[in-house]
Structure 1
């Protein structure tokens, strides 16, 4: 992980220096913008680097969606033979170059970046020995500046659950830190849910049970876990996550227009590929039910014979 810490620090320090040359050491609204914008542009740098991965994710999802009718056919054919079904599915995915787990790849790739930033920001303590301040390519001046950087008066190294002793070392007010952290955590949870919901509703619920489980986990499980774990995240990490979610909302909107989901009934949102399509009967009745006789219609020959 040392390489990741060095890489994260290098990108963060690069953008901080760039914004510092523009704004200097001035702050406004209780915010050191050179450090806050440094975190924001760290997100943009990472997302630009990972953009090809997201394109592969969308393409793979489209390929899996296009295979849903064939997958449903295999499930029906091998309903009582799970081993053969699994082998046939693996072969189908291999031949068609589709990977149902590709949707998790962008998240998996971003985890080391998130953990790296979490470690670096937790490292920002004014009491840190000088020889440790220069870890990961930092200078003592940069370390001291970052450890005192604030967002609306709350230090970016502080957390909602910071103790009174920690806040005293950071020179921060406990109420301010908790208010800023609570607002950011709520924003983080909401944008995480909206980002997952946008992708699922536009792409459609998967008909495959494991994939649907993954989608439900993304939609409900991750936001719920963030509501709890966000209380121990440094404010700088929450800034990173919120910026990532906002970027994701914009990126997904563009990518879903560039790579629209299939429009057939097997892959439309909420539809299941293994459910036969209902055929309307042509007179407004529920699909699958026999048509009701029209008012005033003449009885058929069969009815005449019964009446006789």
Structure 2
């Protein structure tokens, strides 16, 4: 297993050695002492710059993956609630399939955000092996690593930064300077990591994404990483701690730039960006598309409302009265006989009427008309004669 690990890391060690040696030669060419800690410390910082610059595309992919993971958290929670309390294999398999289908639909997965860390890890261990082997290379016990010959290794091994050798560790230190430099670097590493995670959670997460497992995981990392640095930092050489702090500082600055220029939708950083653009009179990114989408949605809602309205029924045809005048209401019931129709002008009093006039039977035609109005049929002659009789 050890031989396999050595074979796997050997190309990484050579690449790290050549990058450091190239920067070291550049700094010594401008007058720095080849054996000074400043020259070798700047070479380590140069290694970080080269590595992180090459990883910018991966970092952009990581940001996009993290944002998508934040945005799909409500959907993931729905899937989890759907299968909550179901422990049978069929339900667990169905939940896994729905989760993976959601990941494929959105083009993300939980491991996309870990890609930069996975890429950096071999270079981190490669640098550790180079710095850790300087002493044996300088004494001739180990073979040179590319350009790091016995002479170059002797210069790097004896180089000091603030009185502490770059190859010393906290546990193997024999002077106070090494303890102090190690503790300061561990504190700086922890502070930069904490700041990076905090600005990610407080500024670049929408309010809807703060109460989900992903946000809780980020919050846990924010408080756990300082402890990890403190425990592991005492085992690494100062040169490796310098590399670690520099890459954390790069991550913090890079994160600050991304949050300021490309904030996550719905986050406090996006609101601040819109306010800055509004003050400068510049267009807000995506504002036109958002308004167009809102207008389309409003039009669709109006169309749905129109479709729900039922058509009104047609008005009934107007019927003609006896005099040919149109009436809005149909005739209901029998028509009043001529004797009962209201009249105008002076009317005779009951005393002026002829005796027995009020008790006179109605004409047969009127009776027939009344009945025909009720039945809808004309009165038969026999019936009318019987009435007259």
**TM-score bracket relative to the smaller structure:** 0.7 to 0.9
Which residue of 2 is the match for residue 190 of structure 1? 191
Which residue of 2 is the match for residue 243 of structure 1? 246
Q: Does the CA contact (< 8 Å) of 1:39 and 1:240 recur in 2?
A: yes
Which residue of 2 is the match for residue 6 of structure 1? 14
Q: CA deviation at 1:257?
A: 2.7
176-185 or 194-203, larger mean C-alpha shift: 194-203
* Residues 54-77 of structure 1: CA deviation (Å, up to 9, x unaligned): 000111122222323433333344
Q: CA deviation at 1:233?
A: 1.1
Which residue of 2 is the match for residue 161 of structure 1? 171
Separation in 1 of the partners of 2:256 and 2:76?
28
Q: CA deviation at 1:89?
A: 1.2
Separation in 2 of the partners of 1:7 and 1:127?
17
TM-score when scaled to structure 2?
A: 0.60
Q: Is 2:232 the counterpart of 1:229?
A: yes
The gaps in structure 2 that reach 5 residues or longer are: 1-8, 272-389
Which residue of 1 is the match for residue 45 of structure 2? 40
Q: CA deviation at 1:258?
A: 3.4
Separation in 1 of the partners of 2:124 and 2:261?
28
Q: How does 1:1-308 map to 2 (within 5 A)?
A: 1-25=9-33, 32-79=37-84, 80=86, 81-125=91-135, 128-130=138-140, 132=142, 134-162=144-172, 164=174, 174-204=175-205, 208-209=212-213, 211-212=214-215, 214-263=217-266
Q: CA deviation at 1:207?
A: 5.2
Q: Does the CA contact (< 8 Å) of 1:130 and 1:140 recur in 2?
A: yes
The structure, 1 or 2, with the larger RCO (C-alpha pairs under 8 Å, 6+ apart) is 1
Separation in 2 of the partners of 1:127 and 1:60?
43
Moved over 6 A (4+): none
The gaps in structure 1 that reach 5 residues or longer are: 165-173, 269-308
Q: CA deviation at 1:206?
A: 5.9
Q: Does the CA contact (< 8 Å) of 2:201 and 2:215 recur in 1?
A: no
Separation in 1 of the partners of 2:11 and 2:60?
26
Q: Does the CA contact (< 8 Å) of 1:134 and 1:140 recur in 2?
A: yes
Q: Does the CA contact (< 8 Å) of 2:27 and 2:39 recur in 1?
A: yes
Q: Which has more radius of gyration?
A: 2
Q: 1:250 to 1:124 in 2, by over 3 A?
A: same
Separation in 2 of the partners of 1:262 and 1:190?
27
Q: Does the CA contact (< 8 Å) of 2:137 and 2:153 recur in 1?
A: no
Q: CA RMSD in A?
A: 2.5
Q: Does the CA contact (< 8 Å) of 2:13 and 2:145 recur in 1?
A: no
TM-score when scaled to structure 1?
A: 0.74
Q: CA deviation at 1:127?
A: 7.4
Separation in 1 of the partners of 2:173 and 2:49?
32
Q: CA deviation at 1:241?
A: 0.8
Q: CA deviation at 1:218?
A: 2.4
Separation in 1 of the partners of 2:107 and 2:19?
35
Separation in 2 of the partners of 1:126 and 1:93?
49
